[in-house]
Amino acid sequence: MQSSIKPMLILGIAIFLGLFSLGYFISTSVINYKQFDRTVTVKGLSQKQYSADVVLWPIKFVTPDANLLDLNEKIENYTSIILKFLKENNISDKEITIQPPSITDKLANDYGNKNYQYRYLGTRTINIYSKDVTKIREAISKLTKLNKKGIVFKINDYDTRIEYIFTRLNEVKPQMIEESTKKAREVALKFAKDSNSKLGKIRKARQGQFSIFDRDKNTPYIKTVRVVSTVEYYLSD
């Protein structure tokens, strides 16, 4: 009888020690896992200003006349005056696109007042596409001088808005991403220090979308480029 109790006692002690060890291992693993799962998510901003490197300048003029032939002659005459002005301001032929004239016959309408002083209204748009923004801005400032020659320009239409474009985004992306990531890490280090923790490796990172907008309404030729990077770091004690 005693010989059978001893092996059972040894087996029981072995099972107890095994269960105790397993419980310790599991609890320790849970604690380590929770410590490993501690993270902090931070954002880093990079924002810079750049000059636009492309300008689109639509020059649209309008002129009325009672006679269709006279109207066409005026349109061509005004076109020649504008082209001469552009050449005098060092704007080349390859930067200029001349649109066909558009002529409206007011009497062709079936409604409204038929008593017009001028039956016809002609418009033409001359488009400028240039990579020399400074040169074009100087020419724009002088365009009103042509009003003295009888040319009336349309400047408030949606299709006459001057556009300034920044096309070098791919050139500045690497530097801005590096800066935004660096700033995110600075914030994470400050958080770790304040919480008596150590900053670990990156758990995941997400680059925000780049946005480009005018610095302000008075300087549309200066662009603000902005990106925000979001980074999640592990924390440890």
Measured CA to CA, the distance from residue 128 to residue 219 in angstroms comes to 19
Q: Number of folded domains in the chain?
A: 2
Measured CA to CA in angstroms, residue 236 lies from 24, 46, 195, 200 at distances of: 21, 28, 10, 7
The amino acid that residue 8 corresponds to is: M
**Are 115 and 152 within one domain?**
yes
Q: Among 124, 188, 133, which residue's Cα sits nearest to residue 151? A: 124
The amino acid that residue 27 corresponds to is: S
Average the pLDDT over 182-197 and give the result: 91
> Which domain, by its residues, includes 60?
54-165
Check pLDDT > 60 for residue 170: yes
Measured CA to CA, the distance from residue 148 to residue 77 in angstroms comes to 14
- Looking up residue 203, the CATH number of its domain turns out to be 3.30.110.170
Largest Cα span, the chain: 133
pLDDT tens, position by position, 15-26: 555 544 444 443
**Are 137 and 230 within one domain?**
no
Task: Indicate the pTM of the whole model.
Answer: 0.77
Q: Give a yes or no: residue 149 inside a domain.
A: yes
Query: Are the C-beta atoms of 206 and 230 separated by less than 8 Å?
Result: yes
CA angle 198, 201, 203 (to 5 degrees): 120
